Amino acid sequence: MTTTIELNADELDYRLFRSLKSMFKGRNIRVTVNTEMDETEYLLSNQANRTFLEESISQAQRGELITVSLEDLK
């Protein structure tokens, strides 16, 4: 049996654990915590990516841009 409970960490309290204990009395259960990483956090989590992105942002701020039209991409 698989049961998924999705909630914010601020909602965790003793009632949840009492409820789980009651629902699965005498059985082994596994609690897995997954956190979602947003795209920016993911891209900045690797130092090589962070350096590349920071340099790209600096280039854009300096006006070092490459303009391509849709026709050029065909």
Q: What is the pLDDT of residue 47?
A: 94
Count of other CB atoms within 10 angstroms of residue 44: 14
Q: Which residues of the chain have pLDDT under 70?
A: none
Q: What is the pLDDT of residue 1?
A: 75
Q: What is the pLDDT of residue 22?
A: 93
Return the domain boundaries, the chain: 9-64
Question: Where does 1-74 show beta strands of DSSP type E?
Answer: none
Q: If we measure between CA atoms, which residue out of 38, 31, 33, 29 comes closest to residue 9? A: 33
